[in-house]
Chain A
Amino acid sequence: MLYRVIEASEIPALISAFMESHEVVAPVKKGDVYAFDVISSPDEVVLDYDTTIASPKKYFLPPAETLMTFDAQGNQLTDYTAEITPRVIFGAHACDINALNRLDVVYKDAPYADPYYIARRQATLIVGISCMPTETCFCHLWSSDEARFGYDLFLQDIGGKYLVSISSNDAANILESACNPREATDAERIEFRHATRRRQAAFNPEIPKIQEVAMLMDAFHDDPFWDELGGKCLSCTACSSVCPTCFCFDIRDVRDPDGTTGRRERVWDACTAPQFALVAGGHNFRSDPATRVRHRMYHKLNGFLATHDRMLCVGCGRCVKACKANINPIEVLKFFERKGAADAE
């Protein structure tokens, strides 16, 4: 891939250049935490943020999205225009880019390509930024600590400068017009190597490194551990709201106040919600929280891998912070570690 070096002082100019043609979404400070939001000035952007409450998922799969509008009287569609805003997600971490690549697998590259998702994905440029792990990050376990594709630019911090990987023509043109990209020196290449090694060494050593997670998810599928872990679930679905790879939805019809016209929309839904596996007639295939939590973890750490050859977890650690009941993949890894301990029963 093509790469160049720019100075950190050139970043505001780069953001301003994107703002001329796009809506720019970037990490901004909200109280004590960070969140992705639309910016009106490059000054608002915080590039050395630790993590954001939620991922930029909502810009591709909005929490509620109109699919079509209808006239219920004649049971027919009415003309509907979806508005897609050309956007730049500026400052996405590698985990979030890898998460987006997983959404692509389901919404863009699978049979039944999703026209709404694709329109948003195609109208969005992604500028990634390197990061250092927080104590809840475990992206390295699933090889999600590096973004290999799925972005337009990726900025690797090498101390006052950025090594920029350039993967799209559109982004290259904007970079060229706003900054003075130059060839990297040997010292800069070496600094990149150091930066990567510093990141790799900085992960929380208390998070167990376990290789055969998918197989273990099958082997311990009926272990009482799942009742213990899932029994605590409050069914609040915060885990899937903050998860960058959770993509399940519900489809519902909403009538306008006049009662005859309305819209069909899809809204975020979660497999940890009590009614998720309910079928007509009232049978619920996962009626208790324990089986729902186990199903969610199974899909994340085994099921998606079985069909798409990669985990549906990128180790961003957001659910670790969001879950009030301390249910998260790290707890699952710790359980497997206990099972593998020398004195395990």
Chain B
Amino acid sequence: MPNSCAVSTVRVRPFQESPERRSGAELMAANPYRPWPARITSITDLTEHEKLFEFRLVDDRIREAFHHAPGQFVELSIFGVGEAPISISSSPTKHGFIELCIRRAGKFTEALHKMQCGDIVGIRGPFGRGFPIDDMRGHDVLLVAGGLGIAPLRSLINNVHDERSDFGKVTIVYGSRTPSDVMFRNQFEMWKHRKDFELHLTVDYPDSTWDGEVGVVTKPFEHLEVDPGNTFGAVCGPPVMYRFVIEEMSKKGIAYDHIYCSFERHMKCGMGKCGHCQIGHQYVCIDGPVFNYWEAKNIQGSM
């Protein structure tokens, strides 16, 4: 039973803007649960199940303050449906827009796939620790994606592309189940003739049109030449793939702490609180989602 003090109840308006004009960073920090309106500016069909959405944050202060690293993720909101963590597919070099590659896999993504250009969603973030892009500069990079793993890795791939002269040899291995599952095929087709990208597209089940490689994602490793002391590896894909790819990278002599992988968990808050993404003593949302293999080996239950 409430006593007499109820009259002195404090009222907190979590979203009230203070009269003075605040910076985007201050606005975001004031309530990190608050999604900011973003407009869909482009939708591209990638496969039967995946679309690439491009968003632009509506508030210019938030847009200016939004800086991400490859490998980070955002929490995407559709009010009334919910919120989901989605890794960013665009490069930080493309400032002002956020691209998210989204597979239709449940209630939330189903609702998103029905939306159109101009519709408003909510975005908060970016969250997590991405790939160590600055450490990678000046070195060779070996980037390996399987299936939907191309979504987070594309951010790194495009970043490396846009700042190509900062990196040594660039090798990209991308494995899909069938040719119709290959995403961003146009982009990779365009790079096929470039001498500064070594590109290996492979599928498990080819059809008559397929002119790429055939076999699982580790197949191209048979003839890859790697300078182990000077190479950073990055892996994104389904959990079963990691062990095999990491094994191949290790065989090539790349050190454990130079092999980076992105972990998939359901990061509900993105801020190291809700607990859903915990593995062992780590939170994928703040300690990851990108871990190097040495770190991952030290997390109970990670592999």
Q: Identify the A interface with B (CB < 8 A).
A: 19-24, 38-40, 67-68, 70-72, 74-77, 79-86, 106-107, 110-116, 119, 123, 218, 221, 247-253, 255, 260, 262, 264, 266, 269, 271, 276-281, 283, 285-286, 291, 295, 298-299, 302-304, 306-307
Contact = CB atoms under 8 A, between A and B. Distances in A.
A197 to B, nearest CB: 36
B10 A119 contact: yes
B190 interface: no
B140 to A, nearest CB: 32
B264 interface: yes
B278 interface: yes
Contact of A82 (B14, B82, B106, B268): B14
A74 B105 CA distance: 24
B264 A279 contact: yes
Nearest to B275: A248
Interface of B: 1-6, 8-16, 29-35, 37, 77-84, 103, 105-106, 108-109, 119-122, 239, 264-266, 268-269, 271-276, 278-282, 286, 300-301
A269 B276 contact: yes
Given A112-B273, A247-B275, A23 B6 contact: yes
Given A85-B6, A112-B272, A112-B273, 17 more contacts: A40-B1, A67-B33, A68-B15, A72-B80, A76-B120, A80-B13, A81-B12, A107-B273, A110-B272, A112-B32, A114-B32, A115-B12, A247-B273, A264-B83, A279-B266, A298-B300, A303-B281
Contact of A269 (B274, B300, B301): B274
A22 B301 contact: no
B79 A71 contact: yes
Contact of B276 (A77, A83, A277): A277
Nearest to B82: A253
**The 3 A-B residue pairs with the shortest CB-CB distance in the complex, in nearest-first order:** A248-B275, A72-B80, A303-B281
Contacts of A72: 79-81
Contacts of B271: 111-112, 114
A115 B31 contact: yes
Contacts of B80: 70, 72, 253, 255, 260, 262
Nearest to A299: B278
Contacts of B6: 23, 85
B5 A68 contact: no
A75 B281 contact: no
A193 B31 CA distance: 46
A258 to B, nearest CB: 11
B14 A67 contact: yes
A256 to B, nearest CB: 10
Contacts of B83: 251, 253, 264
Nearest to A304: B281
A304 B32 CA distance: 23
A72 B29 CA distance: 24
B10 A38 contact: no
A306 B35 CA distance: 31
A115 B14 contact: yes
B34 A68 contact: yes
Contacts of B84: 280
A277 B275 CA distance: 9
A83 B280 contact: no
Nearest to B106: A280
A218 B297 CA distance: 13
Nearest to A259: B80
A276 B281 CA distance: 16
Nearest to B121: A75
Nearest to A254: B80
Nearest to A87: B5
A255 B78 CA distance: 12
B31 A86 contact: no
A304 B275 CA distance: 12
Contact of A23 (B2, B12, B103, B239): B2
